[in-house]
Structure 1
Amino acid sequence: MQKNLMTGLLLAVLFSSPASADVRELASSPRWLTTRVYIDGAPETDVKAKYPDVVGISTWDPERNRYEFFYADTGESKYSKGGGGYFFVTGDQKQHVLVPDIGPTKTIVRQLETMNSVEFTYSREVPRDMMENNSLVRIHVVHAPYTGTIETKSAINNKARSR
């Protein structure tokens, strides 16, 4: 049943009209860098070091509804660890849903906080300090357009070229 639901959602996204103007803000920068992570209610305290799985460089292609994540220090793709696939934004522009191509996680639903040409911020609930048995906390993940020198090497594009 869940597989049929996900297939239906993906088909609806893929065959729907082009992405809205708000979603196109993701395309205003070819790459985005995580600049800050904070726990709900404590925006002054950056906790990026405790949440390394959500930190890095990301690319978004609203025309194809594709995303890919990269390590910020090396530019290496996180694709093989579930860091690439399809995404969509709900019609009310409140949720950003990721559907990884591979990996143990099937979908990740994130609450959109800010999405414009200078900032992309989402929040979601995760175990505190990303430790499986800890209580859930809501983290806010802030991104800005990446202007650094690290090159990102897409595993998605390489995979497509090798076919």
Structure 2
Amino acid sequence: MKTYRVMAARLFLAALLVPSITHAQSIQTEPDVRAFASSPRWLTTKVYLEGAPDIDVKDKYPGVVGISMWDPDRNRYEFFYTDTGLSKYEHGGGGYFMVTGDGKTHILVPDKGPNRTVVRRLEALNNQAFTYSREVPRDMIETNAPVRIYVVHAPYTGTVQTTPSSAYAQ
């Protein structure tokens, strides 16, 4: 019995002397949805496939390429063609968006078009970059196997003028 008491006392003292260790995950800074407001417009600068960040495949994924506007105060977005500046609103290129509380998911809810909800993994969001990834059919051909694409945006400083639809402006 004395051996057990000595052993318990040693364990107790060891527990007091060893720094406490936590198994909780450290808090990571969440992307700031207000970063969307740091630029009035964002331009798709690169699209690449998972595992191949050095190969730009924008030409194979034109549906995700464009100029975008984000209003974080109203959670509204609208997309535009890069060559004409015309709105994509009538084809699902405008509506509401949200970033989940954990900062990992970016969800689009278009006002119009064939898709009702688009879920994207938020990779980066700050004043200089906005990057998301999502699974789509390879080369955007419905019968192809899915691949994960990464779509990179930067604040747009070009000369193409964009005019928001009345739904975005309201």
Same fold (TM over 0.5): yes
| Secondary structure, aligned partner of 1:80 | helix
| RMSD (Å) for aligned C-alpha atoms | 1.5
Residue in 2 that maps onto 1:23: 33
Q: Distance in 2 between matches of 1:128 and 1:21?
A: 28
Residue in 2 that maps onto 1:80: 90
Larger radius of gyration: 2
Q: Distance in 2 between matches of 1:158 and 1:34?
A: 20
2:135 equivalent to 1:119: no
Does the aligned pair in 2 maintain the 1:33–1:57 contact within 8 Å? yes
Alignment of 1:83-102 (within 5 A): 83-102=93-112
Query: Which segments of 5 or more consecutive residues in structure 1 lack a partner in the other structure?
Result: 1-19
Alignment of 1:1-150 (within 5 A): 22-150=32-160
Does the aligned pair in 2 maintain the 1:34–1:143 contact within 8 Å? yes
Query: How many residue pairs are counted as aligned between the two chains?
Result: 141
Change (3 A) 1:50 1:99: same
After superposition, what is the alpha-carbon deviation per residue over 1:73-97, rounded to whole angstroms, capped at 9, x for unaligned? 1100000000000000000000000
Shift of 1:156: 3.4
Q: Tell me which amino acid in the other structure corresponds to 2:155.
A: P
Does the aligned pair in 1 maintain the 2:123–2:131 contact within 8 Å? yes
Query: Which segments of 5 or more consecutive residues in structure 2 lack a partner in the other structure?
Result: 1-29
Shift of 1:153: 1.3
Q: Distance in 1 between matches of 2:166 and 2:132?
A: 23
Does the aligned pair in 1 maintain the 2:31–2:125 contact within 8 Å? no
| Secondary structure, aligned partner of 1:125 | strand
Structure 1: 4+ residue segments shifted above 6 A: none
Residue in 1 that maps onto 2:27: none
Change (3 A) 1:157 1:85: closer
Residue in 2 that maps onto 1:9: none
Does the aligned pair in 2 maintain the 1:59–1:67 contact within 8 Å? yes
Q: Tell me which amino acid in the other structure corresponds to 2:130.
A: F
Q: Tell me which amino acid in the other structure corresponds to 1:143.
A: H
Q: Tell me which amino acid in the other structure corresponds to 1:96.
A: H
Q: Tell me which amino acid in the other structure corresponds to 2:109.
A: V
Percent identity between the two aligned chains: 67
Q: Distance in 1 between matches of 2:168 and 2:157?
A: 23
User: What TM-score do you get using the length of structure 1 for normalisation?
Assistant: 0.83
Q: Distance in 2 between matches of 1:67 and 1:101?
A: 10
